[in-house]
Amino acid sequence: MAELQFICLKWGTKYPPIYVNRIYNMIDRYTKKAFKLYCITDDEKDLLPNIIPLPIEENNLKGWWHKLSIFKEDLYGLEGDLIFLDLDVVITEDLSPLFDYEPGEFVIIRDLADNGYNSSVFRLRVGSKAYVWDRFLESSEEVVAAMHGDQDWITRQVNDAKIWPAEWVVSFKKQCNSRIRPSLGKLGIYLRKSGLFLPKDNAVLPDGAKIVQFHGKPDPEDVIHGTYGAYKAAPWIKDYWV
């Protein structure tokens, strides 16, 4: 049986090594099949020994733009299907089914804010969509200047992606954390923006969720012990995110 392959990206200092180590630990805890975790990084210091570091090759790129390098035809000699995971996701169940869903297809999240994609969790067969990277290289400076991030470019280039089942990969902001409150007019808007309007109950992990994605703020650590602005506390994160 082939090993499952996961890959993540750690660039710069926004997320310390423990974020990568937690990804490994969460996969290991819930995924019963043999697996490998690769980490594309500019600094492999303090990563767990079982994590396989891959050196960043494009020193002219920053941050999330390095994700696009995963679309290369020759990706460090790797073959087969890879699942990419952002460092700020929380894994709550076995991820093996993500490899069986829509075999051979490129699978990604539909962004809840618009009609584009969210690149927090996607599955790619190595080299199958190399044009995403090749076209980016043709005008990378212009693309970086014009677009907010890598997922905007992926959305523009890929028109045949499959979407993960909605219950598998959920948004902390949208699906775990309802912010619907009685309207208080301008006062209510001020309180929400200032963080003074605090939710009373906790965020809920939806049934069937395998991954909780944290796009933007808050990060998981921001809500383990309390609220974050208008977002609810999620003390259950500590049971998974270790």
Q: Structural domain boundaries of the chain?
A: 4-163, 169-239
Residue 39's pLDDT is 98
Q: Lay out the sheet containing 81-85: strands in order across.
A: 51-55, 35-41, 4-10, 81-85, 117-125, 107-110, 162-163
Q: Which two tokens stand for residue 117?
A: 């994609």
Minimal CA–CA distance to 87: which of 120, 61, 56?
120
In the predicted model, what is the mean pLDDT of the chain?
A: 91
Averaged pLDDT for residues 103-116:
90
Q: Which two tokens stand for residue 73?
A: 């035809």
How far apart (Å, rounded) are the C-alpha atoms in residues 188 and 228?
16
Residue 215's pLDDT is 85
Task: Point out which residues pair with 82 in neighbouring strands.
Answer: 124
Averaged pLDDT for residues 186-203:
59
The answer to whether residue 194 scores a pLDDT higher than 60 is no
pLDDT tens digit string along 207-216? 999 999 998 8
Domain 4-163 indexed as CATH 3.90.550.10: yes
Residue 180's pLDDT is 43
The answer to whether residue 88 scores a pLDDT higher than 60 is yes
Residue 184's pLDDT is 45
The answer to whether residue 196 scores a pLDDT higher than 90 is no
- Residue 60's pLDDT band (cuts 50, 70, 90): confident
More confident residue, 111 or 7: 7
How far apart (Å, rounded) are the C-alpha atoms in residues 107 and 120?
11
